[in-house]
Amino acid sequence: MSDLASNVYDIIAKNGRVDRSEIRPDAKLVDLKIESLDVVEIVFALEEKFGIEIPFDAAQPQVKFETVGDVVAAVEGLVAAKKPA
């Protein structure tokens, strides 16, 4: 697992109040009982940690965070996009 993915897992565990051992790429956030307010806190923590802006609106999310893998993929893409070519 990459350092980035490990950091994302840590943030999901902390802000989603989920045991780190339950977090897997295919785990659905809803199955982990992560509520919408927790998702907003996770988004803020990810933005701060990685210096990115996640286009997320809880009412109409542009970025779909269904699984932990979706979150990791979105963060990886945004981090890669901000790096100079």
CATH fold for domain 3-82: 1.10.1200
Burial of 85 per CB tally in 10 Å (0-12, 13-18, 19+): exposed
Closest alpha carbon to 11 in 28, 30, 34: 34
C-alpha gyration radius of the chain: 12
Residue spans of the domains in the chain: they are: 3-82
Count of CB atoms within 10 A of residue 63's CB? 16
Q: How confident is the model at residue 55 (pLDDT cuts 50, 70, 90)?
A: confident
Mean pLDDT across the chain = 89
> Tell me, what's the pLDDT at 73?
94
What pLDDT band is residue 61 in, cutting at 50, 70 and 90? low
pTM for the model: 0.87
Decide if pLDDT at 18 tops 90. Answer: yes
Averaged pLDDT, 60-84: 84
Q: What is the pLDDT of residue 34?
A: 92
Mean pLDDT value of segment 48-73 = 82
